[in-house]
Chains A and B, each alone.
Chain A
Amino acid sequence: MEMLQIAGLHKRFGDKEVLKGLNLTVPEHSIFGFIGRNGAGKTTTMKTILGLLKADAGEILVNGEKAVYGQTATNRYIGYLPDVPEFYSFMTAREYLGFCGEITGMTKKEYRERSEELLELVGLNGEKHRIKGYSRGMKQRLGIAQALLNRPKLLICDEPTSALDPVGRKEILDLLLAVREQTTVLFSTHILSDVERICTDIALLNEGKVDIQGKLSEIRTQYRRDEYLVETDNEEGMHGLQKAFPDIRQTGQNQLVFSEKDYAPGEVFRFVADRAVPVVKIERVEPTLESLFVEVVEK
């Protein structure tokens, strides 16, 4: 089942067309990485899903229900974490979650229990101070807690890790991974290592359109070029290989890459074994998200 479906979304700010017919499908219980450069339209897309911006054209279905601008009833399925979440700084984390619980119509018992559960999950259960003194990482964690409060079916996070240090980033990514059982996660980012770490599905947004979309593993297979990398221990070994296989390409220091089309891998491996070429590693080249991203953006 699809948790979110977007078809032909258009949005223009003045004379700048930000979204040019964006199509996106987010399957249930996926961790969906929404990748794009700064200014590609990630935040615009998310705000339109939440009914904070009015789309010029296109349709958005959240859990099969149409999302509309203004009074957005579909928001009851959604938990939202903006890129820089802002809370009422005069409250404590517990008070804030209580306030959120009350405006979403939870009973006192419900939101008290859920708040404790979530504060423990995000590691803020011992925090008694007002939000005013929180670090960015703490605010981001509280942001996740408030977004998960009413057990949303879809958690939308706008660049949750981009402003954090490595420790804070790891904490947020671990959290997103942990909540996958409970919800579907859609998060935008331009940090590709984050995507590789936790995402099951991705979409690459470029110039207002989604260029590549699908399961990360399938995309990797699809874009795999059947290339192998051989790294030798010394230059002699590398030269030996280059002499025997003229079409082999040098890609770095003592690093060679060949395509299956040019040479059968077995043949190269046999050469390495027979001549006892000192190798550091032999591996099949996986397309990195970075190479894919660059390829899409530069197309």
Chain B
Amino acid sequence: MKSLLAFIRKEMLEQRRSGKLIILGILFIVLGIMSPAIAKLTPWLMEMMAGSLAGSGLIFTSVSVTAMDSWVQFFKNMPIGLIAFVLIESSIFTREYQTGTLLLSLTKGLERHKVVAAKTVILVILWTICYWLCAGITCGYTAFFWDNAMVQHLLFSVTCWWVFGLFAVALMVLFSTMAGSNTGVLAGTGSVVLVSYLLSFFSGLKKFMPTTLMDGTSMIYGMSQPGACTVPLIIAAVMIPVCLAAGVSIFNRKQL
């Protein structure tokens, strides 16, 4: 346990001193502010464009913006946040393989599964803090300008998106134990998400796909019910430990 904590502390120090923590912090704060900001600015933007659009036959009377628009924007922004998160953290394992820094720790008797555990813990903590910070900021501004009460299943849909992020983290860990460079990690994680996304276009498969968890917009409009997320949530809850266990098993046999 002591060695695991030591490795987690080392990871945290690395995140801090390499500047990744600050970059992630700024990014998610900006995303959090952007969602209500864009919603707030929409009428003004429309007004600006009204003149030129009138020429093409489009006429704006009045544009009313609600809390819904702010949250729709939030769910549009989140994929950017997750992609940036995966990009920034994709080398969390592979950089250690490439530089050979793990060699000294492992030859000192650090158990291999603790390396996977420590890095997973750090990724989960970072994702959780970044995501909820972003969601919290959006929630605060939205409540200030409008009223969150009209948004249906808000907490549930936001939580579903967070679970999807955890699923992506588990995929990152799994592919990190397989790949030698971060390109492999990005390709692996990206393809699983893409395949899941493409398969969800088939209505029969959609209810099984974890990517359904990203569809917060339909839920806040009440177009889909929380029940639609039950199966994807269960699948994600099963897949996350499976990916991590497979990752540990692969990492135990990895030649470094």
Residues of chain A touching chain B, judged by Cβ–Cβ distance below 8 Å, are 50, 52-54, 70-73, 75-76, 78, 80, 82, 84-88, 90-91, 95, 99-100, 102-105, 146, 149-150
| A76: contacting residue among B7, B101, B109, B112, CB under 8 A | B109
| B2: contacting residue among A78, A80, A90, A102, CB under 8 A | A102
Contact B108 A100 (CB under 8 A): yes
Cβ of B111 within 8 Å of any chain A Cβ, yes or no, is: yes
Known contacts A75-B107, A105-B2: A70-B253 contact under CB 8 Å = yes
Contact A52 B107 (CB under 8 A): yes
Contact A88 B255 (CB under 8 A): no
For the complex of A and B, 4 pairs with smallest distance between CB atoms: A102-B6, A90-B17, A103-B3, A80-B107
Known contacts A54-B255, A88-B14, A90-B18: A103-B110 contact under CB 8 Å = yes
Cα–Cα, bound, A237→B171 (Å): 83
| B106: contacting residue among A52, A85, A91, A99, CB under 8 A | A52
Contact B104 A105 (CB under 8 A): no
**How far, in Å, is B111 (CB) from chain A's closest CB?**
7
Contact B109 A100 (CB under 8 A): no
**How far, in Å, is A60 (CB) from chain B's closest CB?**
14
Q: Which residues of A contact B253 (CB under 8 A)?
A: 70
A-B CB contact pairs (8 Å), 14 listed: A52-B106, A52-B256, A53-B255, A71-B252, A76-B109, A80-B107, A82-B103, A86-B104, A90-B14, A99-B9, A102-B2, A102-B3, A103-B109, A104-B109
Q: Which residues of B contact A88 (CB under 8 A)?
A: 10, 14, 101
Cβ of B100 within 8 Å of any chain A Cβ, yes or no, is: yes
Contact B104 A146 (CB under 8 A): yes
Cβ of B218 within 8 Å of any chain A Cβ, yes or no, is: no
Cα–Cα, bound, A103→B13 (Å): 15
Chain B CB count within 10 A is highest, among A53, A54, A71, for A71
Q: Which of B67-122 contact A (CB under 8 A)?
A: 99-101, 103-112
Residues of chain B touching chain A, judged by Cβ–Cβ distance below 8 Å, are 2-3, 5-7, 9-10, 13-14, 17-18, 99-101, 103-112, 252-253, 255-256
Cα–Cα, bound, A72→B252 (Å): 11
Chain A CB count within 10 A is highest, among B2, B9, B106, B110, for B106
Contact B107 A100 (CB under 8 A): no
Q: Which residues of A contact B3 (CB under 8 A)?
A: 102-105
Contact A82 B100 (CB under 8 A): yes
Cα–Cα, bound, A104→B101 (Å): 16
**How far, in Å, is B99 (CB) from chain A's closest CB?**
5
Contact A86 B108 (CB under 8 A): no
**How far, in Å, is A43 (CB) from chain B's closest CB?**
12
Cα–Cα, bound, A62→B245 (Å): 31
**How far, in Å, is A62 (CB) from chain B's closest CB?**
12
Cα–Cα, bound, A103→B107 (Å): 11
Known contacts A88-B10, A90-B17, A90-B18: A52-B2 contact under CB 8 Å = no
